[in-house]
Amino acid sequence: MIEFNRVKKVYPNGTVALEDISFEVGDGEFVFIVGASGAGKSTMAKLLLREEKVTSGHLTVGQMHLDNMPDRVVPYYRRKIGMVFQDFRLFPNKTVYENVAFAMQCIGEPKKNIRRRVPSLLEVVGLEDKLKSFPDELSGGEQQRVALARAIANNPDMIIADEPTGNIDPQKSMEIMNLLVKINSVHKKTVLVVTHEKTLVDYFKKRVITISDGRVVGDHRGGMYG
Amino acid sequence: MRSYSITYFIAEALKGLWRNGVMSLASIAVLVSCLIVLGAFSSLVANINYNLDEIGAVNQIVAFIDPDTSDEDILALRDSIAAMDNVSAVRYISREEAYQSEKEKYSEYPELFAKLEGDNPYTASLVITFADIDRLVNLEQALGEEESIYKVSKRTDIAATIESFKQTVILIATWFMILLLVVSVFVIINTIKLAVFSRRQEISIMRYIGATSGFIMVPFIIEGVIIGLLSGGAAYGIIRAAYGYAARSVSEQLSFLSVMPFDSIGWYLLGAFLGIGLLCGVVGSLISMRRYLDA
């Protein structure tokens, strides 16, 4: 599914964010990517989204080679990825329903399909009774659940969650993480969670890839943080 | 089957225009000014052409006869001119006829003619209608050789003056318009940039979701189109009203000029206004969105 092959990323200002990164993630895997802030975790997410290009080495997702992907293909590639951010990034002037529907509208999904699918997506994240609420009427945890529903709206192959619990209180964090595990196991999506929350990582006993100073320093299945 | 909703695009475009109301109005105002200048100058040029055509249609020159010439000689001269090449008709206007005709023309000022009673200052003349203006020079030369003709007046002088005036008008109008069009495009670019800026977070989310550049750009291009079309429509309305007013005052105060009916240029103006408005709007949007074409 995902293959990092001797990937190096140097930013234009000379900062070396990632150095000689090699690992593979198989279809349907659940992986935590952990490390201190500044270790290069977010750069990894940016490379996977093709927001940044690798400086050298190869990055392959599915059949797609991200290192020489033409710009016009990028939107179609991104439809295969559901992205979840620390700051939710919901449209504040759209309701919960509209936020999820918009993701489908963006890629030209017919209205009929949108009307049918959005309620079931919101059911998956347990927000079926908040259709008409606006993001600022919801708690952080609820907002992140809307973002999760949006991330899976277009039936992506993979979910990338960049610090998804960073702005949420601890007991709600567990709910979000449970949802991600559910999306992984029930909906068969590959899930990558970038985080530095030790308790959560230790609790779920999934594969953990540890990054430090731009290098992979640990890769353990059923592993623990650090 | 993918489907993109046109109502979504239009609604987003209208929201964008509304959020940056002042800049939207500024864009429309500048573009309207530009189109009004274009409309005013092109109506002026069209009317100059119209009047030139009228003068040209007359195709006449007037030969004034030396007062000492006898009636018989004049009639003989008339016949010889009628036989000349390029002459299609010759009409003799005697001194008496000229006097009467002028008296009628200035019937509001009978005192002018009262002073002249018994003394006719007008000369007899031959009004020569020619066929081909390009061979007018030859005819003039032939007339110049006739001793009893002391002066030939031709209207082509007026035509030439009007023609050069027209060229000046076109030159000024062209530069003025280029300048204004450039300003309009810049103002539109700024307006759309503001719209893009105020929605930059939405745009970044749309990018992550996998929206194509086209999907992201369409509302902004529609915004430009709306600015262009509104400006075109407004400019047309203003020009239409102003033309009617100008036509009335010209026919009252400069009655020797003819004014084209607005309907004969109206459709061209409307077409040109909407076309230029549209072009400015789209070009402005595309330029301001250029950097968003990257992934």
| Residue B62 is assigned to a structural domain of this protein | no
Least confident of B45-54, B135-144, B173-182: B45-54
Q: Assess whether pLDDT exceeds 70 at residue A93.
A: yes
Is B154 inside any structural domain? Answer: no
Whether A113 contacts chain B with CB within 8 A: no
Identity of the highest mean pLDDT range in A45-59, B16-30, B208-222: A45-59
Looking at the domain assignment, is residue B152 inside a domain?
Answer: no
For chain B, say whether A66 makes contact (Cβ under 8 Å): no
Domain spans, chain A: 91-155
Report how far residue B103's alpha carbon sits from residue A192's, in angstroms, rounded to the nearest whole number.
104
Q: Which of B147, B176, B209 is the last residue of a domain?
A: B147
The span from the CA of A108 to the CA of B4, in Å, is 5
Residues 5-44 of B with CB under 8 A from A: 5, 8
What value does the mean pLDDT take over residues A64-85?
92
Same domain, B89 and B224: no
What does the buried/exposed string (b/e) look like for B25-41 if buried means 16 or more CB atoms within 10 Å of the residue's CB? eebbebbbbbbbbbbbb
State whether residue A53 sits within 8 Å of chain B by CB: no
Give the pLDDT confidence score for residue A95 in this predicted structure: 94
Both B198 and B168 in one domain: the answer is yes
A89/B207 CB distance under 8 A = no
Decide if pLDDT at B292 tops 70.
no
Residue B49 clears pLDDT 90, i.e. is over it: no
The residue in chain B having the minimum alpha-carbon distance to the alpha carbon of residue A152 is B209
pLDDT-derived band of residue B293, with 50, 70 and 90 as boundaries? Answer: low
* Average pLDDT score over residue span A62-83: 92
Q: Please determine, for residue B201, whether its predicted confidence score (pLDDT) is greater than 60.
A: yes
Q: Tell whether B194 and B262 lie within a shared domain.
A: yes
Average pLDDT over residues B42-63: 76
Among B112, B147, B182, the domain boundary falls at: B147
Taking CA atoms, what residue in B is nearest to A93?
Answer: B202
Q: Which chain A residues have a beta carbon less than 8 Å from that of B1? A: 110
Shared domain check, B189 and B282: yes
Residue B118 belongs to a domain? yes
Residues B121 and B235 both lie in one domain: no
Distances (CA, A) of B211 to A77, A149, A187, B270, B290: 10, 17, 23, 37, 16
Residue B95 and residue B120 in contact, taking contact as beta carbons nearer than 8 Å:
yes
* B166, pLDDT greater than 80: no
In this predicted model, what pLDDT tens digit does every residue of A38-55 receive, in sequence order?
889 989 999 999 999 999
Q: Are B147 and B77 in contact (CB under 8 A)?
A: no
Q: Which domain holds residue B175?
A: 6-55+159-293
| % of chain B residues with pLDDT over 90 | 6
Q: Where a domain ends, among B113, B147, B181?
A: B147
User: Between these two residues, A100 and B174, which has the higher pLDDT value?
Assistant: A100
Confidence of residue B159 (pLDDT cuts 50, 70, 90): low
Lowest-confidence segment of A21-25, A149-153, B205-209 by average pLDDT: B205-209
**Least trusted range by pLDDT, from A132-141, A166-175, B286-295:** B286-295
Question: What is the model's pLDDT at position A176?
Answer: 94
Model confidence at A76: pLDDT above 50: yes
pLDDT at B231 over 60: yes
Residue in B208, B212, B213 closest to A49 by CB:
B208
Residue A158's pLDDT band (cuts 50, 70, 90)? very high
Q: Among A124-128, A159-163, A219-223, B180-184, which is the least confidently predicted range?
A: B180-184
- Is the pLDDT assigned to residue A225 strictly greater than 80? no
| B243 CB-side CA count, 13 A | 25
**Which pLDDT belongs to residue B1?**
46
Are B234 and B283 in the same domain? yes
Q: Do B295 and A71 touch (CB under 8 A)?
A: yes
* Cβ–Cβ under 8 Å, residues A201 and A195: yes
Considering only CA atoms, give the Rg of chain B.
31
Show which of residues 214-233 on chain B sit within 8 Å of chain A, judged by CB atoms. Answer: 215
* Confidence band, pLDDT 50/70/90 cuts, at residue A5: very high
Range with lowest mean pLDDT among A200-204, B16-20, B113-117, B206-210: B113-117
Task: State whether B172 and B48 are in the same domain.
Answer: yes
Does residue B49 belong to any structural domain of this protein?
Answer: yes
Q: How many structural domains compose chain B?
A: 2
**Nearest chain B alpha carbon to A50:** B295
Are B238 and B285 in the same domain?
yes
Mean of the pLDDT values across residues B110-139?
80
| Closest CA in chain A for residue B208 | A78
Q: Is the pLDDT reported for residue B157 higher than 80? A: no
Mean of the per-residue pLDDT values of chain B: 82
Report DSSP letters for chain A, one per residue. -EEEEEEEEE-TTS-EEEEEEEEEE-TT-EEEEE--TTSSHHHHHHHHHTSS--SEEEEEETTEEGGG--GGGHHHHHTTEEEE-TT----TTS-HHHHHHHHHHHTT--HHHHHHHHHHHHHHTT-TT-TT--GGGS-HHHHHHHHHHHHTTT--SEEEEESTTTTS-HHHHHHHHHHHHHHHHTS--EEEEEE--HHHHHHHT-EEEEEETTEEEEEETT----
B118: domain CATH number is 3.30.70.3040
Is the confidence at residue A30, as pLDDT, over 60? yes
Chain A closest CA to B202's CA: distance in Å?
A: 7
Tell whether the model's pLDDT for residue A143 goes beyond 90: yes
Based on the domain organization, do B186 and B82 belong to the same domain?
no
Considering the domain architecture, whether residues B113 and B181 belong to the same structural domain is answered as no
Tell me if chain B has a CB within 8 Å of the CB of A111: yes
* Residue B8 · residue B216 · CB < 8 Å: no
Same domain, B277 and B190: yes
Q: Determine the residue among B9, B208, B218, B292 to mutate to test chain A binding: the one whose Cβ has the most chain A Cβ atoms within 10 Å.
A: B208
Of all residues in chain B, the one with the smallest CA distance to A92 is: B202
Could you tell me if B163 and B45 are in contact, meaning their C-beta atoms sit under 8 angstroms apart? no
Q: What pLDDT band is residue A129 in, cutting at 50, 70 and 90?
A: very high
To the nearest whole number, what is the mean pLDDT of chain A?
93
Tell me the shortest Cα–Cα distance from B24 to chain A, in angstroms.
Answer: 22
pLDDT band at B12 (very low <50, low <70, confident <90, very high): confident
Q: pLDDT by residue (tens digit) across A103-119? A: 998 888 888 999 999 99
What's residue B3's pLDDT? 63
Q: Which of A71, A81, A106 sits opposite B211 (nearest CB)?
A: A106
- β-pair type (A215-220, A207-212): antiparallel
Q: Is A82 buried (19+), middle (13-18) or exposed (0-12) by CB count in 10 A?
A: buried
pLDDT at B271 over 70: yes
Residues of A in contact with B214 (CB under 8 A): none
What would the mean pLDDT of B110-118 be, rounded to a whole number? 75
Task: Please tell me if residue B245 touches chain A, with a CB cutoff of 8 Å.
Answer: no
Which candidate from B1, B208, B212 shows the least CB-CB separation from A83? B208
Q: Are residues B186 and B50 in the same domain?
A: yes
Cβ pair B210:A76 closer than 8 A: yes
